[in-house]
Amino acid sequence: MATQEQILSRRTFAIISHPDAGKTTMTENLLFFGGAIRDAGTVKARKTGKFATSDWMEIEKQRGISVTSSVMQFDYDKFRINILDTPGHQDFSEDTYRTLMAVDSAVMIVDVAKGIEAQTIKLFKVCRLRGIPIFTFINKLDRQGKEPLELMEELEEVLGIESYAMNWPIGMGKEFVGIYDRYNNRIEQFRTEENERILPLDENGELLGDHVMKQTSYYKQAIEDINLLNEAGNDLDLEKVENGKMTPVFFGSALTNFGVRTFLETYLEFAPTPQPRKTDADELIDPVSEEFSGFIFKIQANMNPAHRDRIAFVRIVSGKFERGMTVTLSRTGKTFKLSQSTQFLADDRETVEMAVAGDIIGLHDTGNYQIGDTIVGGKRLFNYEKLPQFTPELFVRVTAKNVMKSKHFYKGIMQLVQEGAIQYYKTLHTEDVILGAVGQLQFEVFEYRMKNEYNVEVRMESIGNKIARWIQNESNVLETMSNPRSMLVRDRYDRYVFLFENDFAMRWFQDKNVDIELYSLL
């Protein structure tokens, strides 16, 4: 197959949801269809520990949350699909954001009974920032939930996105009989013989003939709703879908594997092919261009405790990767032969020989890579746009309990900072280590990993919530250093950062120092 054809066959997306909405169950079904796992249950088994491949997954197990995000690849029909799982906890939204930088679209799973939940809103906002297409799967229709029209309204009102129902449930919970598939113009029956599963519609959009379902109240309700949607609902606008302004909505039940295949097949028709990416010089790099290039959106250390290795995850943006090829790291100009590369399958990691734009590969890393790095196959060096950092809100002062361990202490901190697990700051004169995070759990994972991976017990002293602001014109800053309501630190790039006690302190400071321009990160 020519490279171009291979690239156009790629679909790379992330699944987002509030914990428990059914992300894992959905992922399992998708992998199952792709033949990547033998029985739906493997991913769950991994989540609950049977396949625990990393030390800090212990934390995930204990708390029943997904901290890390993983990558899975499978083939379906003529497509090669890369699914990126995202952490289900809001404390890791920065990690989620970086993952979203590596995909071309997102699938949002919503629990029919719960509707739009807090974490859905947070993750959705992160998707919004990226402007990528978002597809919605409303899950658990085998249970009683909110009215479908109410859910559509909630999508529009709470998330501020237009919605278009690709299909519509007929009944719900115990009375769930199927979905009215507006897109494929048919009804798909729930819990029925395979030869009865698909029922055709007549030219008025009603069931052909005198099927028993026609007499049921839930069928009549569904038809009424559909008529309402046809008359007063949004039209499917592909341009809006492409820009993330309209979400196509599907209904189904992941646990009973109903509506998932229809979702997948329709989704694959609409989901974008690998998209071009911008360099920091505003140049768009076309995925089908000759030269290989990609960027590192995630670094994960110690994925396999037996190897104590570090994997840099690369989103290939253009061209073709072949094992053994030589690439240049644009940031340093250093060249590497990529002989140890990995791709991620459902229940294993496998050496990858060839991959193309759209694919995600893992590179063995001995400490050369940083998050956001660009690697290129050709002579011309360039960098993809920086991966944004979030403005942290929580801060701790951290020390090693045993001062003799300071070498390991700094090594651990630097590696975890490079991974993007936590943000690093230091005080001006004493150079005390201050860590910043978006959510409290990041500190817990940090503490756990320092102990388990670097053998260092740390002491963390909270300095609480702060408003962090960077300084546009740094030369003015030194005179104002002695401001009592803020702390001045430097970040890992040596930039000055004010940590204000609160909003009031920040405004007070701004009034007194009108010539200092402050800014926040994302």
Nearest to 128 by CA among 48, 18, 16, 205: 16
| Shorter beta-carbon distance to ligand G4P: residue 58 or 457 | 58
Torsional class of 178: left (φ above 0), alpha (ψ -120 to 50), beta (otherwise): left
Binding track over 226-265 against ligand G4P, x by CB under 6 A = ---------------------------xxx----------
**Exposure string (b/e) for 54-74, b if CB count within 10 Å is 16 or more?**
bbbbebbeeeebbbbbbbbbb
Should residue 140 be labelled a site residue for ligand G4P when binding is judged by CB under 6 A? Answer: yes
Q: Which is nearer to ligand G4P, 267 or 321 (CB)?
A: 267
**CA 160 – CA 404 distance, rounded (Å):** 54
- Closer of 35 and 64 to ligand G4P (Cβ): 64
Q: Which is nearer to ligand G4P, 27 or 293 (CB)?
A: 27
Q: What whole-number distance in Å separates Cα of residue 334 and Cα of residue 345?
A: 30
CB 15 within 8 A of CB 27: yes
Determine if 25 is a binding residue for ligand G4P (CB under 6 A): yes
Question: What per-residue string of b and e applies to 268-295 under the rule 16 or more CB within 10 Å gives b?
Answer: eebbbbbbebebeeeeebebbbeebbbb
In the list 3, 19, 51, 448, the residue contacting ligand G4P (rule: CB under 6 A) is: 19
Which range of residues in 15-23, 34-42, 207-215, 237-245 is near ligand G4P by CB under 6 A? 15-23
* Binding positions for ligand G4P, 34-53, rule CB under 6 A: 44
By C-beta, is 259 or 436 nearer to ligand G4P?
259
Could you tell me the sign of the dihedral formed by the alpha carbons of 360, 366, 367, 373, in that order? negative
- Pick the binder of ligand G4P from 142, 188, 373, 491 (CB under 6 A): 142
What sign does the dihedral 94-99-102-104 (CA atoms) show?
A: negative
Nearer to ligand G4P, 95 or 447 (CB): 95
21 binding ligand G4P? (CB under 6 A): yes
Among 6, 9, 12, 17, binds ligand G4P (CB under 6 A): 17
Question: By three-state DSSP, how is residue 436 classified?
Answer: strand
Exactly one of 86, 120, 139, 389 binds ligand G4P (CB under 6 A); which one? 139
CB of 299 to ligand G4P, least distance (A): 24
Exactly one of 3, 20, 397, 427 binds ligand G4P (CB under 6 A); that residue is 20
Q: What is the largest CA-CA distance in the chain?
A: 84
The C-alpha atoms of residue 219 and residue 438 are separated, in whole angstroms, by 47
Using rule CB under 6 A, residue 116 touches ligand G4P: no
Residues in region 456-515 near ligand G4P by CB under 6 A: none
Tell whether residue 96 is a contact of ligand G4P (CB under 6 A).
no
Residue 417, H or E segment? helix 406-418
CA dist., res. 228 & res. 203, Å (int): 17
Residue whose C-alpha is closest to residue 470's, from 392, 405, 414, 395:
392
- Candidate segments 50-58, 140-148, 240-248, 328-336, binder of ligand G4P by CB under 6 A: 140-148
Q: Which is nearer to ligand G4P, 263 or 425 (CB)?
A: 263
Judged by CB under 6 A, the number of residues near ligand G4P is: 17
For residue 122, the minimal CB distance to ligand G4P (Å) is 14
Q: Would you state the structure tokens that stand for residue 247, as one six-digit string?
A: 């979400």
| Comparison of 112 and 371: residue with beta carbon closer to ligand G4P | 112
Side-chain-side CA neighbours of residue 375 (13 Å): 30
Binding to ligand G4P by residue 447, rule CB under 6 A?
no
Q: Which of 12, 13, 22, 316 binds ligand G4P (CB under 6 A)?
A: 22
Q: Tell me the C-alpha distance between 278 and 236, whole Å.
A: 29
In the chain the first and final C-alpha atoms are separated, in Å, by: 41
Residue identified by tokens 């936590």 is 422
| Residue labelled with tokens 């719900």 | 172
Beta-strand relationship, 134-139 and 310-318: unpaired
Name the segment binding ligand G4P (CB under 6 A); options: 16-24, 321-329, 414-422, 477-485. 16-24
Under 8 Å between Cβ of 313 and 348: no
Q: Segment near ligand G4P (CB under 6 A), from 113-121, 135-143, 175-183, 473-481? A: 135-143
Q: Which of residues 63-92 bind ligand G4P (CB under 6 A)?
A: 88
Binding flag, residue 11, ligand G4P (CB under 6 A): no
- Residues that bind ligand G4P in the complex, under the rule CB under 6 A: 17, 19-25, 44, 88, 139-140, 142-143, 253-255
